[in-house]
Amino acid sequence: MLPLILASSSVYRRELLNRLQLPFTCSSPDIDESHRPGESAVDLVKRLAEQKARALAGTHTAHLIVGSDQVAVLGEKIIGKPHTFEKAREQLLTASGNSVTFLTGLALLNSQTGECQVDCVPFTVHMRTLDANSIERYLRAEQPYDCAGSFKAEGLGVCLFRSTEGPDATSLIGLPLIRLIDMLLIEGIQIP
């Protein structure tokens, strides 16, 4: 089995990949994550996931490299990580009573063969109608400023949801394990 490496510094992705009980290491790729003019959200996350994996291929020449990237989309607008309380409050007020779709790009690169599997896994969160007080209480309790959409689905953020829909709940957290397992099986990795 080729060594597995996660092209990410995300603690959330690392925790998810740990669920598969496979040995892996992490390395953070240095890429430009800018959105190109006219590029769809799906194309953006697929391109960035693959670029993250390929960025490590030069120094990890016989590895399976996992790249992932995620954006949240509300209506036609891509919403990113808020980084501040004020921006998080604004995002949640806008999302209140609406649906937010998370698009997670996933790439598995075999750096020995150059073969790269790339996909995008969508997951939609239907938000409750939220008032300013409940939003502020949530933000002060969980401080999800490094999370697209301004909530942590694996934590208290679930209280903001009316319902969810999608093929893989782990994609909401940033690494779609069901699809990744499909890709690993193609590479001959047996799980469990």
Summarize pLDDT for 11-60 with one digit per residue, the tens: 999 999 999 999 999 999 999 999 999 999 999 999 999 999 999 999 99
Q: Is residue 56 part of a domain?
A: yes
Distance of alpha carbon 6 from alpha carbon 65, whole angstroms: 6
Chain centre to alpha carbon of residue 86: 23
Residue 17 has a pLDDT of 98
Q: Is residue 84 part of a domain?
A: yes
> Structure pTM?
0.93
Summarize pLDDT for 38-48 with one digit per residue, the tens: 999 999 999 99
Residue 76 has a pLDDT of 86
**What residue numbers bound the domain in which 139 lies?**
4-186
Summarize pLDDT for 85-110 with one digit per residue, the tens: 999 999 999 999 999 999 999 999 99
Q: Is residue 191 part of a domain?
A: no
- Tokens for 8? 């990410």
Question: Into how many domains does the chain fold?
Answer: 1
Q: Is residue 158 part of a domain?
A: yes
pLDDT > 90 in the chain, percent: 90
Q: Is residue 20 part of a domain?
A: yes
Mean of per-residue pLDDT scores for the chain: 96
Confidence bin at 1 (pLDDT 50/70/90): confident
Q: Is residue 192 part of a domain?
A: no
Residue 83 is part of a domain; what is its CATH number?
3.90.950.10
Residue 61 has a pLDDT of 93
Residue 192 has a pLDDT of 86
Residues identified as active-site: 69
- Average pLDDT for 60-89: 94
